Amino acid sequence: MNDRSSPTFVLIPGAGGSATYWYRLVEELRQRGRDAIAVGLPAADDSAGLAEYADAVVTAIGDRNRIVLVAQSMGGFTAPLVCERAPVELVVLLNAMVPAPGESPGQWWENTGQPAAAAAYAASEGRPSGGAFDPLVEFFHDVPDEVRTVVFAEPQPEQSGTPFEKPWPLEKWPDVPTRFLQGRDDRFFPLEFQRRLVRERLGIAVDEMPGGHLLALSRPRELADRLEGYLS
């Protein structure tokens, strides 16, 4: 039986929707006696948009009644929709996209200036920019080799374009306590870019920790420490 006196961490992945992304963090949290659920999203389904992503998260929550939503990257568009339908006590945005009312995920990139911010950060590190996207460079640069092997042994997730097309339907961010945790070495969503965006759109400060875009894979212990800290 679920211990209803203890919060459940419900982990929402980013683009691709793979629950495998969270496997190291789930193990770390469960070793600490926490209930942790990694949600798989129907990302390859062309009929599924943000509403269906929220459906998948709500289904995974079931009858649990103390929820901490942890939303990675594109999961920032889904987590607020879940808050409308489930007993969420806290949202933790993790290297996440923060939507504005009426903005689609497809519009978010140019609206926020992400391409220019990522290019400027690449230049500051002496890396080329403007070429084809390379996940090993952008996402996995600080993920241990043995973890990369596990992740790439799985069928690589596909991401339909459907959820990028429709506007985010909420008029404002839900009235739920929200924290934002950012990897200071994220090459995809650079720290200074996120500080500006989160301040403008949520009016809160960004907490930071070492690591790139995939903190749950690269630094699960430190990430679990941070999540435990938010509970107190």
Q: What is the mean pLDDT of residues 15-43?
A: 97
Alpha-helix residue ranges (DSSP H) falling in the chain: 23-31, 50-61, 75-83, 105-112, 114-124, 135-138, 145-153, 191-201, 215-218, 220-231
pLDDT at 1 over 60: no
135-164 confidence digits (pLDDT tens): 999 999 999 999 999 999 989 899 999 999
* Dist CA 227 CA 232 (whole Å): 9
76-116 confidence digits (pLDDT tens): 999 999 999 999 999 999 999 999 999 999 999 999 999 99
Question: Across all residues in the chain, what is the average pLDDT?
Answer: 96
Res 3: pLDDT: 55
Largest CA distance in the chain: 52
- Map out the domains of the chain with their CATH numbers: 8-231 (3.40.50.1820)
Res 2: pLDDT: 47
* Dist CA 34 CA 64 (whole Å): 13
